[in-house]
Amino acid sequence: MIPALRFSKFKSEYLPKIIDEIAKVTSGGTPSRAKADYWNGHIPWVTTSQINFKDITAADEYITDLGLKKSSAKLFPKGTILLALYGQGITRGRVSVLEIEATTNQACAAIILESEDVNTRFTFYYLQSKYEDIRNLANDGGQKNLSGGLVKSLSVVLPSDVMEQAEVADFLTSVDNKISQLIEKHCLLKDYKKGVMQQIFSQQIRFKDDDGNTFPEWNTHELAMLSESGISNGVFNDPKKVGKGFRLINVKDMYKGDSIEYSELTLLDLEPKLFEKNKVKYGDIFFTRSSIVPTGIAFSNVNLSEKEDITFDGHLMKISPNKKLVDPLFLAYYLRSYAPRKALVSRGKQSTMTTIAQDDIKDIKLNIPALKEQQKIAQFLQSLDKKINAVNEQIEQTKLFKKGLLQQMFV
């Protein structure tokens, strides 16, 4: 038993060990919710929602000494490996390491290693590499669950040289640290973009022309007056005609990315005359007409594709920006900023769902700068998006790299 990828300086044999042979396996408990004096204490209480292949350094909830004493909850030491026995969606089978002393609920299996010949981090990464296999061991029932007995019976194949275990664990930890750093950078860039957008669209930040001169003051325009042809609805999305024909911009495309992704559009078969009437052009902006939640109403996105085979769904409204008055990319950014979103949401009509129509938004007033200042703003925000997307791509590539390591460094 030798992994496909191994540090060449190590030659020790890989041997299988049963979890029950190298660790104590137990689970936690939940103090009574009816007892107020059991909760909001100083003892961390962890649930499976926090088990996500990362270290746990704090809890979402805390219990008191009395809650610990009067329940089946147990205080586990730092270094305990937690494995989710059950939970929503993809939670079951996930593992984390406690970096604090903490209690857990009964849905967490606590694996406390008792052998000096077994490295905690190596075991954690080994179990992580076997995530899908562990999930498939779950008991059948109304909800597929793992059990303490199944966890005890799990096999861990590890090198007999504990130094090799440590080096594998340290290497994978460095990869995880890189992912964490990239995620933090991604969050900081997004926060910066959000903050700078608020300052730009409230005119706290103003751009200058190429000669260093101040642009003219911003002017107020009604939304419909910025469109070449008013505001229109799209075509009926007939389920019987899906799968071939023209590319269709749908409601779901409003919530993905900073512009509509052509390659992800579904297909809809339409009569040529109907398509020509509802044909989409570069720069067209779309709004959702209905939403389960009020804040989702009139959410917008922009088409930046030059393709000639795109139409749009009847659950959307469309404007075609008059490019002599407004830059489409600027308008797309502006419509997602605080003041326009607040104005659009306020026009929604609430019943079972929140709805909005052309007449509800046509006279929304927007403060618009000169066209050249719009273009400078759009270029600046687009450059930020490119940086954000580049970091996101780095995150995905590093995660893919780690996935390959997990597949090759363990037996």
C-alpha span between 229 and 322 (Å, rounded): 9
C-alpha span between 201 and 349 (Å, rounded): 27
pLDDT digits (tens, 9 = 90+) for 43-53: 999 999 999 99
pLDDT tier at 143, thresholds 50, 70, 90:
low
What does the angle CA 362 – CA 366 – CA 367 come to, to the nearest 5 degrees? 160
Q: Take residue 228 and report the two structure tokens written for it.
A: 């070449």
Confidence check: pLDDT of 229 > 70: yes
pLDDT digits (tens, 9 = 90+) for 306-352: 999 999 999 999 999 999 999 999 999 999 999 999 999 999 998 88
3-state secondary structure of 344: helix
Q: Averaged over 374-395, what is the pLDDT?
A: 97
Q: Take residue 188 and report the two structure tokens written for it.
A: 């900081």
Contact 154, 134 (CB under 8 A): yes
pLDDT at 139 (0 to 100): 63
Write the single-letter amino acid at 194. Answer: K
Q: Take residue 124 and report the two structure tokens written for it.
A: 């954690």
C-alpha span between 379 and 371 (Å, rounded): 12
Q: Take residue 105 and report the two structure tokens written for it.
A: 């609920």
pLDDT at 257 (0 to 100): 86
What does the angle CA 300 – CA 301 – CA 303 come to, to the nearest 5 degrees? 145
Contact 275, 320 (CB under 8 A): no
Contact 145, 106 (CB under 8 A): no
Burial 49-80 (b: 16+ CB within 10 A, else e): ebbeeeebeebebbbbeebbeebebeebeeeb
pLDDT digits (tens, 9 = 90+) for 190-228: 999 999 999 999 999 999 999 999 999 999 999 999 999
- Across all residues in the chain, what is the average pLDDT? 95
- Dihedral, CA atoms, 363, 299, 312, 314, nearest 10 degrees? -70
Confidence check: pLDDT of 180 > 70: yes
Q: Averaged over 250-262, what is the pLDDT?
A: 93
Give the number of other Cβ atoms within 10 Å of residue 203's Cβ: 11
pLDDT tier at 141, thresholds 50, 70, 90:
low
For 61, which DSSP code?
Answer: E
Q: Would you put residue 392 in left (φ > 0), alpha (ψ -120 to 50) or beta?
A: alpha
